[in-house]
Amino acid sequence: MVQKLAHKPRPTKKSYVINKFIEFCKRTDLHGFKYIVMEDLNVVERLTWLPNLKQLDAIKKASLKRVFRCCWAVAVFVSMIIAIMFVITAYKWYARNPVVTVIESTQGAIWDIPFPAVTICEVNSISRRAAKSLSKNLTLPANMTSEYIFQVFKLVPLLLFASSATVAQKKSLVELQDVLDLNNISMETLYRELAPTSSCDNLIQRCMWKNIIYRCDQLFQHVITKLGICCSFNYYAFDSTTEKRPELIRLPTPRRVASCGYQTALTILLNVDVQDYYSTVAASHGVLVLIDNAYNIPDLDSPVRMVNPSTEVLIALSPERTYSTSGVKAFSPEQRQCYYQDEATVGKFEQYSFHNCMVYEKIRIIKRECDCIPLYYPLRDGYRTCNFRDLGCLHMLEDKLSQKDEDMSSAVQCLPECEHYDYPLEVALGQLSSNVQLNGLPFFENVNIENSSVLNIFFNDLVSTRYRRDVYLNWQNILAAFGGLLSLMLGFTLISGFDFVTFFTFRMIYDCTLGNFVGKRWESQEDKVINVVEKPKILESTEKRYESAC
């Protein structure tokens, strides 16, 4: 008898994929996959249908199983979509914020932090006595009097606050400009002649640094700001100052202190001459104190405090230092949103800072639109100084300069520094009395403290806060964040990931290699036949007798 060899049909690609998916669902430990292919109901499903389970026939039970498997498949699919959305959202957030700033220590040493610059500005911008004297010594046109010029001198500070000037005031100041041109007086000369701080000794009577009394002209230098002529201590914004004084003690780098507390740093005695007030920038008596980084130019953006007459003011600084790790520099400035000192320069400032960059942007716009440089910018490089004839142009730009718009864009975009110092401060004050016995304090010897003020600026503690700018988009953080999201939604672990990779790589390669070999055997066996020979009956009976005999 001839019979064909029986063999299994070769599986199709569709059935192969389905079988492999079922095999993967049974072996993986990812959440929910095993319930998609489970042949029986799980515990939860049994408890749900327990009262009616025995009454269902086989067809209904099979339909019920399919319904539950479909529900599990939908749940797994939705979980996968949500997990992918969370991962994409998290990655976009990390990509937008690749650098993070954290508190590294609150025990940093204060001697690692330079002392800030301290700028003292009189609230009174124009000295009454100086204005009276100058108005009498000017050569005037026939239609002007010294009294009129004396009245116009009160409006001189409007050059730095052009938006506050009225039309009539602008007209008077233009007439004053004609007088100044007639007498060959520049803007800087005019401000120095009229300022109550024509000499810092007029404003600051006594100075003490680290419990050592100095002559004030050894510590303070003149600085022109938007508040007028001021006196600045520890000021290093520019490579060279506008004034060259041999008595000024200027160290190569900003000063530092190694101690904290009252009278351990800067203590000064201020003289406030209320009788000489003529044109003020505030409706008060006293001085304005600007405290900022030693390399920043004093400006209205700097932290400022008021010191009134007959008061003793204590300003306690709590310094903070921010530095960046080496990994931060690998990002572009646009990604990390900051500049290192060697990556950007602004004008002729000693160091780059966001504060200096914003000031320089304003100067650049004024130079472009009004063809002049403001008085408070000391390095003018041959450009003329803005005068009273430029008030109209300056007024027009005032609102534009108060906010960053498209006109303030430049080749150097203003970004914060990657490493910088900050000086948060606290202020305490008390009434200064001349009746208190001060014999034990050498700082107050042989001085008249009537209508004077005492200013103490010092570090509040021996330690400082240190911040670290570090890379947030690294493999450790990505692994922790993405792993947590995938584990929460799918139960994904490194083991399940390894199993997924091995199953869909090595196992697939093995199946493909073995499948080719088996396929060839199937093809070779399709036409094979076998011969089935039927035994004779006589032989069968003989065998039976032999077996019974045994």
Judge whether 289 and 120 are in contact, CB under 8 Å.
yes
Calculate helix-pair angle for 508-525, 13-27, nearest 10 degrees.
Answer: 140
Say if residue 500's pLDDT is above 80: no
**Residue 305, amino acid:** R
- pLDDT computed for residue 95 by the predictor: 76
Lowest mean pLDDT among 42-56, 370-384, 450-464: 42-56
- pLDDT computed for residue 50 by the predictor: 46
What are the respective helix, strand and coil percentages of the chain, to the nearest 5?
45, 20, 35
534 pLDDT tier (thresholds 50, 70, 90): low
How far is it, in rounded angstroms, from Cα 50 to Cα 39?
17
Say if residue 512's pLDDT is above 80: no
367 vs 66 pLDDT, higher one:
367
- pLDDT computed for residue 41 by the predictor: 56
**What's the CATH class of domain 107-470?**
mainly beta
How far is it, in rounded angstroms, from Cα 449 to Cα 432?
8
The number of CA neighbours under 13 Å toward the Cβ of 13 is 0
- R_g (Cα) of the chain, nearest Å: 43
Tokens 């199983």: give the residue: 65
Q: Residue 436, Cβ neighbours under 10 Å: how many?
A: 9
Mean pLDDT of 80-101: 83
Q: How does pLDDT run across 455-496, given as a tens digit for each residue?
A: 999 999 999 999 999 887 777 777 777 777 787 778 887 777
DSSP-based three-state secondary structure for 166: coil
Within 8 A by CB and 6+ apart from 516, the residues are none
Of 263, 258, 233, the C-alpha closest to 248 is 233
Provide the whole-model pTM: 0.74
Q: How does pLDDT run across 243-271, given as a tens digit for each residue?
A: 566 677 778 889 999 999 888 899 999 98
- pLDDT computed for residue 437 by the predictor: 61
Of 260, 314, 291, 274, the C-alpha closest to 427 is 314
Q: What is the 3-state secondary structure (H, E, C) of 333-348?
A: HHHHCCECCCCCCCCC
How far is it, in rounded angstroms, from Cα 298 to Cα 220?
14
Q: What is the 3-state secondary structure (H, E, C) of 210-267?
A: CCEEECHHHHEEEEEECCEEEEEECCCCECCCCCCCCCCCCCCCCCCCCCCCCCCCEE
Judge whether 232 and 262 are in contact, CB under 8 Å.
no
Say if residue 508's pLDDT is above 50: yes
239 vs 153 pLDDT, higher one:
153
Measure CA 261 to chain center.
31
Task: Look at strands 311-317 and 452-459 and give their pairing.
Answer: parallel
Mean pLDDT of 314-319: 94
Say if residue 528's pLDDT is above 60: no
How far is it, in rounded angstroms, from Cα 26 to Cα 31?
11
Say if residue 550's pLDDT is above 50: no
Task: Look at strands 463-471 and 320-324 and give their pairing.
Answer: parallel
Of 238, 255, 232, 322, the C-alpha closest to 458 is 255
Q: Where are the domains of the chain?
A: 2-96+479-529, 107-470
Maximum average pLDDT range among 29-33, 253-257, 378-382: 253-257
- pLDDT computed for residue 387 by the predictor: 92
How far is it, in rounded angstroms, from Cα 86 to Cα 92?
10
Calculate helix-pair angle for 167-182, 391-401, nearest 10 degrees.
Answer: 130
Within 8 A by CB and 6+ apart from 290, the residues are 117, 118, 119, 121, 225, 230, 298, 302, 303, 304
Of 546, 78, 454, the C-alpha closest to 267 is 454
Length of the chain: 550
411 pLDDT tier (thresholds 50, 70, 90): very low
